[in-house]
Amino acid sequence: MEEEFEFGFTEDPKFSVERYEEMIRNHDQYFFDAQAFENIIDYYIEKNDPSKALQVAEYARNQHPFAAVFLIKQAQLLVVGNKVPEAFAALEKAAMLEASDADIYIIRGNMYESMERFSEALENYEKALELAEETDEILLHIAYVYQNMGDYDTAVSYLKLCLKQNMENQDALYELAFCYDVMDNQQESVQFYQQYIDNEPYSYAAWYNLGNAYTKLSLFEKAIDAYDYAILIKDSFASAYFNKGNALVNLEKYAEAIEVYRHTFEYEQPNADTYCAIGECYEKLEQMDDARAFYKKSVKMDPKLADAWFGIGVTLDFEERYFEALHFYKKALDLDIANADYWFAIADAEYKLGHMDEAEQAYEKVVELNPLDIDAWLDYSSILYEQQRLGGAIEIISQAIKNNPEAAELYYRMVAYLFAKGEYNEALSQLEMALTSDPDKHYILFDYLPQLQTNKVIVDIINRYTK
């Protein structure tokens, strides 16, 4: 007859694990109380060995057939192994033994949530709310479900409830920022985080999210102050340094931004985005060798980062190495084919290389992707004008005006083209429209056709609007 030993909850958890492993080795049968079994299961979960943990749960169920806790643990582990029907069955049995255990409904809610059966998920989470002592995580899950359903207003109200219960729930703070972002409601976001900080002045996450909300409102000075507080509370907060760097870039404080970006390397591994951001700062400071060095570090780390390939092209373009620049612009374009800025740079480089057909095709792509880019329309029409294709240039500017009826620059350029074509009456009528739109920009006309400065009719019309 096998000898039975009993191990209880007074034992050290490590001792329970050793005894359990000894039992398995010896093909023996020891008795463990429920707490000891829980400790053993948790040990294997922490060791990331769910199959062993599941084996223990099975043993535990045999020795403690009326303890719902082992069915619940079993369900959790079955979910990890993607055995959803078995997990549902285990929870069903657990509910028959102890229907008031909140974990049954939380796990069931999780499963329904991942299956996108949202109403059933909510039903289970609501049941869990009635039964659980601590509910902030359940409220957070309910908020996730409403986010997945696209109901961000309700998600916000549950996130606020969650934070009311646990002011330190970091996930809820970040999710709230995400919801306000999707709703494009940064004003309310700022108000919420300010109130939150009044109660919790040392919450680095709240200061960080306040900084992000200010950034989205283009209040960069205030954003920097908020990031500084976040860094003061948690000096290893790499994301706060990175976002502070971005805010400094928006204020055109590029040298300061470089220093702040470099700080992130003290607290986390350098990454491609940060290298790229530093490269861009050096580019703005016209230190092209440094810029190119950082862009190269960036693409070495992440060959799919289109902006970094593009940045290398920009540095070469600046040095009038257009043919080389074109190579890197095209690498960026391969990764992001619908990027109007990349097409614009390609068009400009092709033009500078004297490849008029290629430049024209690229400009056509720019205005197709971004019909509000006035500079692109002007450059596109210029190429045709330079080739004496006046009809084509006028047609392009007509399309540009249709898309940008408020842009005075387009009307002034139209006047120049119409004069060049000899269509004086139409030119004067367009001039009136340009002057009505923005009289101060009439210099554009003279920049393009300096000879018009001596044309008395034109000068008289301009004087009527500008004096």
* Number of residues that this document lists for the chain: 467
Q: Which CATH number fits domain 269-352: 1.10.760.10, 1.25.40.10, 3.40.50.620, 3.20.20.140?
A: 1.25.40.10
Q: Which CATH number fits domain 185-251: 1.10.10.10, 1.25.40.10, 1.10.3720.10, 3.40.50.300?
A: 1.25.40.10
What is the pLDDT, as a whole number, of residue 40?
74
> What residues does 32 pair with on adjacent strands?
7
Poorest-confidence range of 36-40, 113-117, 184-188, 212-216?
36-40
Task: Say whether 388 sits in a helix, a strand or coil.
Answer: coil
- The full DSSP string for 389-434 is -HHHHHHHHHHHHHH-TT-HHHHHHHHHHHHHHT-HHHHHHHHHHH
Between 377 and 81, where is the model more confident?
Answer: 377
Q: Does 100 score more than 90 pLDDT?
A: no
Poorest-confidence range of 80-84, 145-149, 421-425, 426-430?
80-84
CA distance linking residue 241 with residue 260, whole number of Å: 6
CA distance linking residue 453 with residue 461, whole number of Å: 12
Q: Does 446 score more than 90 pLDDT?
A: no
With cut-offs at 50, 70 and 90, classify the pLDDT of residue 33: confident
The CA-atom distances, in angstroms, between 157 and each of 134, 167, 187, 318, 418 are 18, 15, 16, 51, 60
Asked if 257 and 294 count as a contact pair (C-beta separation under 8 A), the reply is no
Task: Name the pTM for this structure.
Answer: 0.76
Single-letter residue type at 344? F
CATH 1.25.40.10 fits 371-467, yes or no: yes
Q: Does 224 score more than 70 pLDDT?
A: yes
Task: Say whether 32 sits in a helix, a strand or coil.
Answer: strand
Task: Say whether 292 sits in a helix, a strand or coil.
Answer: helix
Q: Residue 316: which residues within 8 A CB-CB, separation 6 or more?
A: 292, 322, 324, 325, 328
Q: Residue 430: which residues within 8 A CB-CB, separation 6 or more?
A: 411, 414, 415, 418
Q: Does 21 score more than 70 pLDDT?
A: no
- pLDDT, the chain, mean: 88
Backbone angles phi and psi of 405, in degrees to 5: -65, -15
Asked if 38 and 25 count as a contact pair (C-beta separation under 8 A), the reply is no
- The full DSSP string for 183-238 is TT-HHHHHHHHHHHHHH-TT-HHHHHHHHHHHHHTT-HHHHHHHHHHHHHH-TT-H
Backbone angles phi and psi of 31, in degrees to 5: -105, 130
Single-letter residue type at 336? D
Same fold, 185-251 and 269-352: yes
What is the pLDDT, as a whole number, of residue 7?
46
Q: Does 262 score more than 80 pLDDT?
A: yes
The structure tokens listed for 133 are 């002592």
Poorest-confidence range of 127-131, 304-308, 412-416?
127-131
Query: What's the angle, vertex CA 96, arms to CA 93 and CA 101, rounded to 5?
Result: 95
Q: Does 222 score more than 90 pLDDT?
A: yes
Task: Say whether 321 sits in a helix, a strand or coil.
Answer: coil
With cut-offs at 50, 70 and 90, classify the pLDDT of residue 175: very high
Sign of the alpha-carbon dihedral angle for 220, 223, 225, 227: negative
With cut-offs at 50, 70 and 90, classify the pLDDT of residue 49: low
Between 356 and 63, where is the model more confident?
Answer: 356
**Helices first, then strands: H and E counts in the chain:** 27, 2
Q: Looking at residues 45-70, what average pLDDT do you find?
A: 71
Q: Looking at residues 421-439, what average pLDDT do you find?
A: 89
Ordered by start, the domain boundaries in the chain are 185-251, 269-352, 371-467
Q: Does 72 score more than 80 pLDDT?
A: no
CA distance linking residue 292 with residue 315, whole number of Å: 6
Task: Say whether 244 sits in a helix, a strand or coil.
Answer: helix
Q: Looking at residues 426-438, what average pLDDT do you find?
A: 89
CA distance linking residue 68 with residue 96, whole number of Å: 9
